[in-house]
Each structure stands twice: as C-alpha cells, then as structure tokens.
A = this chain, B = another copy of it.
C-alpha cells in the first residue's frame, strides 16, 4: 500500500506556498489554503469567480440541511442531515477595459498563493495581462478572525505601471452556489437590505429552516461611491476604482455572518442580531484585523509549536497540521463538533464520527483544554438525540450516532449506523480521558456523569449473554475495523464497554463521596436505581474478552482466527482502494483489516497491556492491516515506536503530516483529512515523544527520535503549565516554559519539571 506523494507546493517552515497556477490542482489547493475559525470556514477558492474546476465552499459549523431517505425497516434512519454550503462572502467580480477577470480565460503571470501560519493571512497575487497589452498586479488577501467568530475580511489591491483607467467592481454576498452532492442550491433568500454602512442578506435552508444573516461593509482607497445591486440569491455593491500607474488602489471588505438554527427567533430579531453584531465589532479596519490575527497566532505558537530539525518537509507538515487544528476547533462556540473534513470541504457530508474523542481530543487536551471540554459538551447537548435514537433501535439509554452534524444519526448506510456502537464507548473514554488529564470534576459531576449513566444503560440493554459461554457481549455489530461487517463479540467494543462500566462505577463511588446530593438528584431525575448501577459490575466482570492464551493475541471477534487468510501483499496495487475495486461483499470475508481494532483499544488503554502483549498483537494485526483509513498509519507508528521498531515507526509516519500537502490519497480536493491531521500530532507526541496519558501514574514520556532527524521539540499544556520536550540524537530535555512545576514520569523516573528542566541521555534502546 505504498503511498506516493504528489509534490507540488513549495516547502517553507512557516507557510504553505503555491507558485504558479495549475488548474488541474486547483481544487486540491483550495482545500489546503482553507481558512477557518471553528465558527466558519472558507476554502481557498478565487474571490473573483472562476469558470474552471473549483468548489466555492463556505461553511458554518453545525449549519445543516436534510434529505429524506426511503427507509425499509424500523430502526433505519429516515432522513439524513448534512453540512450546508453557505454564503460566499468573498464574492467579487472585476472588470477592466471591458474584460472580466477569470483565471480560466484571462491571461496572467506571476501567480502565487500563500497562507502564513504566523499571521493567518491568505494572500494570492498575480499580474493580469489585458488584451490592450497593459497589465495590472492584483493581490487578494483574506482573513477569518480567530478572536471574533463571526468576522471575515478581504482586501483586494490593484497596482499597475501602464494601466490608467477605471476598474469596475461588484463585491457582495452570494447564496447561490450549488451543493455538489445534492446537485442543487439549498437556500431561500428571505431578506435583503442596508442599514447604516452595512449591506445584508438573510437566507434559510429549504428543508430545515437554518438561517444565516450575512452583512458586509466596504472601504475603498478612493472613497468610491457604491450602489446596491440585488440579483438572484446575491446582494452586492457596485463601484469603480480609478487606477493610475505607480499608485495603489484597493478595497477592503469586512463581512459579519451570524447563523441561527432556532426557528422560533423572528425575522426582525435575527436582522437586529446580525446588524448589531456587525456594528459592535471591535475590529473596524482590515489593518486592525491583520494586527489582531498575527497577535493571536504568535501566542499559539508559543505554547503549541513542534520544531523538527533536519526535515523541512515534516517541519512544514506538522505546523500545517497544528494551524489547521486551531482553525477547525477552539472551543469558543459551544455545541460544535469536528467534521471528518473540518470546514474545508463537503466529503463525508461535514459529519463528525468517533474520530472526535479517539483521534482529536488528545491534541486539544494538551493544547486547549477549553476546546477539549467543548467537544464533550457537544455530546452532552445532543444527549436527547442519543436517548431518542436508542429508543428507535429498541434499546435504553443513549445511543450516540456514528455520523452526525446536529446530534441525530446521519449515516445512510444502515450497516454502519445500526451496527457500529463505538461512538458511545468513545464518548465514555473521552470523559474519562478529559477528567484524568485535566482533573475537571465539575464537568464530570455536571455533565459527564449523566452521559456515563445513560451510556451504561445503552450498553447494558444492547448487550446479550452467550448461550454456550455464559459471557456478556455484543452480537451483530461492526467494530472500528469496518472490514468485518456484522460480527459477535468484537473485542474492541467488548473491552471498551467493560472499561466504560468500570469507570462509571468508580466515578459513582467518587461522586457519592464528593457530592452525594448532586449524585442523588441526578439519579433520581434519571430514574437510575442503585440496583441498576450495581448490576453493571457483573456485566464488566462477565464481559467476553476473547484471547488466545498461547499466542497472547486477542481475537478481533468470534471466529476471526478461522477467517480465510489473504496475504495482503499479494493484492495488486491497482486494486486499492478496495472499496472501489472489490465487490462490496468480498471485502468482508478475510482476516484482512482496514484499520486498527484490537490495536486501537491497546492504544487507548495503552498501559493496561504489557509490552509483550502489545508486541504479539501488533505483529499479528499489523501484517493483516491495509490502512484503508487515513487514521490507521499513525496508530501503527506509535506502536512501532513503543516496540523499538524505529524504522517501521518512521515508515508509518512518513506521510502523516503531509497527507494533504502532498495529496497522498489523491482526494484532498474534497477537503482536508482533518481528523488524520490530529493523528499526525499524536504520531509525534505519543509516538516519538512516547507520551502516555492513560496510566495510573500521571503523564509519561519516553522520547525516541527517528534517525532521519537531528532533533525535534514539542510544547504542550499540562495542568496549566507549558512544557517543552526537546530531543536530539543524544539527549532529552524537558522543561516548563511557563507555569508551576509539574510531575512527569520520564523514562520510568518520576521527575518534577520546572523552568530549569531535566536533561537525560536518550535511552539507548530508543535511539532510532
């Protein structure tokens, strides 16, 4: 399954840079040059309109439309919600000398596109050659504010040595883009108008009635007079800029967007809310905006940077990942989750999966705990949906959806939405991990415990007792390895549920001690009796965990060891991805797996298992895994590093940070692999850095270093302290960059880390 890079972009430690324009790669670049701020995201598409291949993607977190499904049977979902594409607030049309700028038709040169990680600025520049022989240099800048969620900004600058005349511009807001998958536009425009210096438009999604008000104001270098133009699903201002040789002309636009999902809010209130937000915006000019944004990013890099010496590709790659993770989620807007593609494309319909708690949460736990908590709050807010969904499938408690935007199940493949039960256990794991790392008991008592109780109810009601074994487990399920479609006693699920029951029981004991009245109020409200929760102990005790005692290998599910064998290296490379090239049913009948399943719980509960156990299972399952999920290689790399297989660890890491930058999977055009990006952070910190956060002894670090690197360092936040871990080929230095001293277990030694830090020799076995 050798992946091949499509090298195209320029390598730079602090930016993504495109030099020259390749129409065939434009969509890929649009994904890579996406900007976002958790509240909204916008792909790097041309502001000025482009008749070539482009996806004008502007997205707002949690804003959704829905489609009806022709469901056959009870318990199979009947409608599916997906992320709506929304207003193009960068809408711009430019004319000069009677020519309309369009890179698919116009003549141009000197094209560059760039996003700088230290400033957050997107900048695109080229020289437009007019038919007259004259030329205009145009620079497009844009920003999506990291401090003001509703705010986006744009500046377009014109400069020429030989052109003198008017440039005709229309700039505004456009709700007309087509949603590709649906093949239609999703919006009805309900209002358009002006108030003071703001021009605004309100639209709502046709089926769900999600609304968005978008308002903009313009500033031009010449104080030009503008005229409102309404057209189709747009509102614009038309104006002209007079350009003289050697003199800069520009216009800048601030756009304020406000999304409203509550259908009870009346039209006037919504209008007032949107305009009110716009008028109160503390950032008034594009220049202020640049300053504010750069300040934000400077601060981020001080606590979250990863530096790699001797490997410029991965240096750029990992900073791109960190940059995107902050753009995707920062916990300032409660009720949001992370879609598989973040806010950078429409693939996977903008839905969030179990990736959130298993792959993304660690990054936020160690960089932005507020964001980590906010992710768990999404699950708390959608608890009513999960309760409802459990009823639909004849179960009790909370059944969290395998794919969702608003908390409702939105995966239209019943085999996934009805058989994959792993999200709930991931939520339980996330609560456990969050509380363990942050010590935030307030969250546990106010929200976490309620989820845990409803989760246990679900995993009690969905489980069954084996007739022959007399053990408890889950029948008719699909595990994380989606190549085994409907199996019994998936080891991952059974083990996760066992841990869920055990953690809940332990948390109950603690909560009853700490805040007994809260616990009683909660259980009374939920109708959870002592007999009920005490009964969970037996389920945990009797949970079937299939293990071959002789080899130490866990059996992925009942009968897996008898599954017909296939040598995965014998599969022709042209057969990949198998989902496209093999009959759907064929994929499911081998001892071949798509992504870690047994290894996944060994990753999540790493310290429950001995090194020998991890080695046995790694060797068995790694040789059967084809990694048809971008999430897979990083987990394997982390194990390889732990097992001292350093070359293998680097091999699996090889395309982690640059999966999108080098378009390894050839589908970056659909959007970034956002949750894989989170895994690449883990790959360095958990893999090479040897961090473990799941054990009983606090934070563990066992750094190693790939032979390809001369050194690397990473920073992270732990219990209020920013720690830095620097590793070279000879030694490791851990110190507190800011904050109080904290305890860390380094190479098995308990160390107090303060500003002076601790320096140890790199452990021999760990040298790559």
Interfacial residues, chain A to chain B (CB-CB below 8 A): 72-76, 392-395, 413-415, 418-419, 464-469, 475-476, 485-486, 488, 558-559, 561-565, 579-586, 588-591
Contact = CB atoms under 8 A, between A and B. Distances in A.
A469 to B, nearest CB: 6
Contact of A562 (B488, B562, B582, B584): B488
A75 B585 CA distance: 8
A474 to B, nearest CB: 9
Contact of A394 (B72, B564, B582): B582
A419 B583 CA distance: 11
Contacts of A466: 562-564
Given A562-B488, A589-B475, A75 B583 contact: yes
Contact of A393 (B75, B486, B586): B586
Contacts of A558: 559, 562
A469 B563 CA distance: 10
A542 to B, nearest CB: 13
A392 B584 CA distance: 10
Given A414-B584, A585-B393, A588-B486, A562 B75 contact: no
Contacts of A564: 464-467, 475
A72 B467 contact: no
A74 B583 contact: yes
Contacts of A73: 579, 583-584
A interface: dominant SS: loop
A584 B418 contact: yes
B591 A559 contact: no
A28 to B, nearest CB: 24
23 contacts: A72-B413, A74-B580, A74-B581, A74-B582, A74-B583, A74-B584, A75-B583, A75-B586, A76-B584, A392-B583, A393-B586, A395-B583, A418-B584, A464-B589, A466-B563, A467-B565, A468-B562, A475-B588, A475-B589, A476-B485, A488-B559, A488-B562, A488-B589
A580 to B, nearest CB: 7
Nearest to A473: B564
Contacts of A76: 584
Nearest to A392: B583
A29 to B, nearest CB: 29
A590 to B, nearest CB: 8
B393 A476 contact: no
A332 to B, nearest CB: 37
A481 to B, nearest CB: 14
Contacts of A467: 561-565, 591
Contacts of A563: 466-467, 475, 488
A647 to B, nearest CB: 29
A418 B465 CA distance: 30
Contacts of A74: 579-584
Nearest to A579: B73
A466 B559 CA distance: 10
A559 B490 CA distance: 13
Contacts of A583: 73-75, 392-395, 418
A76 B415 CA distance: 14
Contacts of A585: 75, 393, 414, 418-419, 476
Contacts of A413: 72
Contacts of A394: 582-583, 586
A182 to B, nearest CB: 12
Contacts of A75: 582-586
A561 B476 contact: no
Contacts of A395: 583
Contacts of A415: 415
Contacts of A582: 74-75, 394
A133 to B, nearest CB: 52
Contacts of A414: 584-585
Given A392-B583, A395-B583, A467-B562, 4 more contacts: A73-B579, A75-B584, A467-B565, A558-B559
A393 to B, nearest CB: 4
Contacts of A465: 564
Contacts of A488: 559, 562-563, 589
Contacts of A586: 75, 393-394
Contacts of A579: 73-74
A320 B160 CA distance: 93
Contact of A559 (B72, B559, B589, B590): B559
A568 to B, nearest CB: 14
* Those 3 A-B pairs whose CB atoms lie nearest each other, nearest first: A75-B583, A464-B564, A475-B589
A418 B415 CA distance: 14
A549 to B, nearest CB: 15
A74 B419 CA distance: 21
Among A562, A584, A585, find the residue whose CB has the most chain B CB atoms closer than 10 A.
A585
A182 B414 CA distance: 23
A715 to B, nearest CB: 43
A269 B394 CA distance: 59
A582 B74 CA distance: 6
Contacts of A589: 464, 475-476, 488
B588 A476 contact: yes
A553 to B, nearest CB: 13
Contacts of A475: 563-564, 588-589
A76 B565 CA distance: 24
A418 B589 CA distance: 13
Contacts of A393: 583, 585-586
A233 to B, nearest CB: 27
